[in-house]
Chain A
Amino acid sequence: MMGVLASPLTLSAQDYMSIKAVPDTMAIRIGEQFKVMLDARVQTYAIPGVHFKIVFPSLPDSFNHFELIGQSEIDTTGSNNVEKVFRQTVTLTSFDSGRWEVPPMKFEVFSATDGSYDSVFTKPFAIDVNTVAVDTSKAFKPIKPLRTVKWLWTDYILYFAAGLTLLAVIIILIWFARQKKVPKYVAPPPAETPYDAAMRQLRQLQNEKAWNNGDIKTYYTQLTDILRVYIEKQFRIPALEQTTAELLQNIKPITILNQQRDKLSGILTLADLAKFAKLQPAPQEHEQCLQTAIEIVEWSKPRAVAEEAKQEGTENPKA
């Protein structure tokens, strides 16, 4: 151990301080890492009342064919009242084959009491960096294939957890959004049957005595429209898109309507004359037509329902 006395301390550093650098191996393969343990011990009883600091060597990234891999924190475990222990592990490697020397490393001891300092150097040591022995007489081997790592559910548990959380958040958001959008249930008004609609409109015409308004054409147009809409909805015949002759032809297969064919023909023919030939039927004919239309609707309604029920097989033959 070498020391340089340049301190106002009464003792030289090597009198109260011992340092060493110990490698874990003296020979490595090229690129292999090795550790050097730097150890500094200070006998505190030799310098009572002095406050000091130990400064460990500052190593460059690369020196003398060695590469610095890493340095551990300074460890002071093992210190007691009479001796302070400082340890640090330095990891080195080398990529050059040969015998290389780790040079002396400088430790500095600094007195906080009076500002003096002293330094101590470690002993150098050599490390053999060996190449890997290659048997050149043998053929080159291919590069090893990729190795499959075994699947472990623990590797993915975080992803599963994150996915489940996201799903839960989405479901909650959708649920909240729907809760807001769903309108309050309002009971729909009861649907009016074709029969009810036709009767209501015919009664309205009757009460208003629409033929007295002077516009006979409009009255007959309304009357025939009510009948055509009723036939279209009740018997599913496109009556609004058919002429009188076509309609009278198409009601033939519907027995209950066909039974009223003459009456229907009378109304439609008279209405056609009023609508398209400016015929002015006699006043009593207006009311008579309306009455006949009501009779047709009344006649066809209950039977239509019964026939429909019969077709669907809901009618009880024993009843």
Chain B
Amino acid sequence: MENTSYDIRQLNEKIHQASSFVDLLQMELGKAIVGQKYMVERLLIGLLAQGHVLLEGVPGLAKTLSIKSLSQAINAKFSRIQFTPDLLPADVVGTMIYNQQKNEFVVRRGPIFANFILADEINRAPAKVQSALLEAMQERQITIGDTTFKLEEPFLVLATQNPIEQEGTYTLPEAQVDRFMLKVVIGYPTKEEERMIIRQNLNPEGMTRISPIIDPADIMNARKLVREVYMDEKIERYIPDVVFATRNPEEYKLQKLKPLIAYGGSPRASINLALASKAYAFMKRRGYVIPEDVRSVCFDVMRHRVGLTYEAEAENVTSENILSEILNAVEVP
């Protein structure tokens, strides 16, 4: 059914009211996390668009603190899994344990049974463990023995990768990386932000306590509203244009990019770009998507979905460079 102007105005007002918690949430998180607004914003996009986030950054950039604070602010369960080479799938999803008193096997749930999971240094665990986690991410359910358990919603995985130590790691294959809605690259805080971090950490009263702002149920309602955000057909055409430009750059007068791209974004990239744009529009308290929303999330949605050739790597061309070229060439509606 086509939306009328009246429907969209109503939707806009509805979303304007419903999204008010986003500002409150960001303010609350800001009490504990200094700087890193970009990362927090992307976490919320993942949360609202029902996608998972892959975070790349050096240690000590408040990744754990961010997701822990987010879970506290939403009053949700949080667990952290440190991925190591000797980790087993059972250590993540859980296993069956024999109970001698009752003379039966009982299920012992793994740390994945939480709302927010921090999969720290995901590339340090072998493929079997990565696969177990990524399957849970995709299916949102776990099977232990004969029993299948639905994972509690909201379910958000924040996986981290350390870009500097690559020895003894198991790089995530392209097909697995594609399951993350966003890949966020975070950098160091500014000097002023770092000064505030020192002050906050040396506070004799300890770290600021995060108060719950909303419930997981509110997040579920917000997710429904995110999907209702109006996306005009002009935007619907703009999104495939951007994704297709990564596959066939020559059709967008970008012949020079052809030898640099090994493979472009999949249809999952288009779906996630649309969903993330809607979530971004929701966070900006709008009931409709504008091209700015698409461009704002484009790098995070697309950077891990554009494969580079050896030629590109030899020339130090990054996927961000390629995406910049594409966004500067594709006409905005």
Say yes or no: A242-B332 contact (C-beta < 8 A), given A277-B8, A279-B5.
Answer: yes
Q: Find residues 263-307 in chain B having any chain A CB closer than 8 Å to their own CB.
A: 286-292, 295
CB-CB < 8 A to A41: which residues of B?
A: none
**Which single member of A221, A244, A277 contacts B292 (CB below 8 Å)?**
A244
- Give Cα distance in the complex from A137 to B330, angstroms: 99
CB-CB < 8 A to B329: which residues of A?
A: 241
- Give Cα distance in the complex from A246 to B328, angstroms: 11
Q: Is A108 interfacial (CB-CB < 8 Å)?
A: no
Please determine whether A275 and B8 come into contact, CB atoms closer than 8 angstroms.
Answer: no
Q: Find residues 247-294 in chain A having any chain B CB closer than 8 Å to their own CB.
A: 272, 275-280
How many A-B contacts if CB must be within 8 Å?
A: 55
Say yes or no: A278-B4 contact (C-beta < 8 A), given A244-B292, A245-B292, A272-B290.
Answer: yes
CB-CB < 8 A to B4: which residues of A?
A: 278
Q: Is B311 interfacial (CB-CB < 8 Å)?
A: no
CB-CB < 8 A to A275: which residues of B?
A: 232, 234, 333
CB-CB < 8 A to A272: which residues of B?
A: 290
Q: Is A124 interfacial (CB-CB < 8 Å)?
A: no
CB-CB < 8 A to A245: which residues of B?
A: 292
Please determine whether A243 and B3 come into contact, CB atoms closer than 8 angstroms.
Answer: no
CB-CB < 8 A to B333: which residues of A?
A: 221, 275-276
Closest to B288 in A: A277
CB-CB < 8 A to A277: which residues of B?
A: 8, 12, 230, 232, 286-288, 290
> Interface code B216-237, partner A: CB below 8 Å = 1, 0 otherwise?
0000000000000010101100
Please determine whether B288 and A243 come into contact, CB atoms closer than 8 angstroms.
Answer: no
- Give Cα distance in the complex from A241 to B295, angstroms: 11
CB-CB < 8 A to B9: which residues of A?
A: 279
Name 16 A/B residue pairs within 8 A (Cβ), A-sorted.
A240-B331, A241-B327, A241-B328, A241-B329, A241-B330, A244-B290, A244-B291, A245-B292, A246-B295, A272-B290, A275-B333, A277-B8, A277-B232, A277-B288, A278-B230, A279-B9
CB-CB < 8 A to B331: which residues of A?
A: 240-241
- Give Cα distance in the complex from A221 to B233, angstroms: 13
Q: Find residues 1-27 in chain B having any chain A CB closer than 8 Å to their own CB.
A: 3-5, 8-9, 12
CB-CB < 8 A to A242: which residues of B?
A: 332
> Interface code A298-314, partner B: CB below 8 Å = 1, 0 otherwise?
00000000000000000
Q: Is A8 interfacial (CB-CB < 8 Å)?
A: no
Most central of A244, A272, A276, A278 by chain B CB within 10 Å: A276
Closest to B9 in A: A279
Please determine whether B230 and A243 come into contact, CB atoms closer than 8 angstroms.
Answer: no
With A241-B329, A277-B8, A277-B12 given, can you name 11 additional A-B contacts, CB distance below 8 Å?
A221-B234, A240-B332, A241-B331, A244-B291, A246-B295, A276-B232, A277-B286, A277-B287, A278-B232, A278-B288, A280-B5
- Give Cα distance in the complex from A240 to B333, angstroms: 8
Q: Is A115 interfacial (CB-CB < 8 Å)?
A: no
Say yes or no: A276-B289 contact (C-beta < 8 A), given A241-B330, A243-B332.
Answer: yes
> Interface code B252-268, partner A: CB below 8 Å = 1, 0 otherwise?
00000000000000000
Query: Separation in Å of the A240 CB from the closest CB of chain B?
Result: 5
- Give Cα distance in the complex from A242 to B294, angstroms: 12
Q: Is A103 interfacial (CB-CB < 8 Å)?
A: no
Q: Is A57 interfacial (CB-CB < 8 Å)?
A: no
CB-CB < 8 A to A243: which residues of B?
A: 290-292, 295, 332
Q: Is A238 interfacial (CB-CB < 8 Å)?
A: yes
Closest to A242 in B: B332
Q: Find residues 132-184 in chain A having any chain B CB closer than 8 Å to their own CB.
A: none
Query: Separation in Å of the B229 CB from the closest CB of chain A?
Result: 10
CB-CB < 8 A to A279: which residues of B?
A: 5, 8-9
- Give Cα distance in the complex from A238 to B329, angstroms: 9
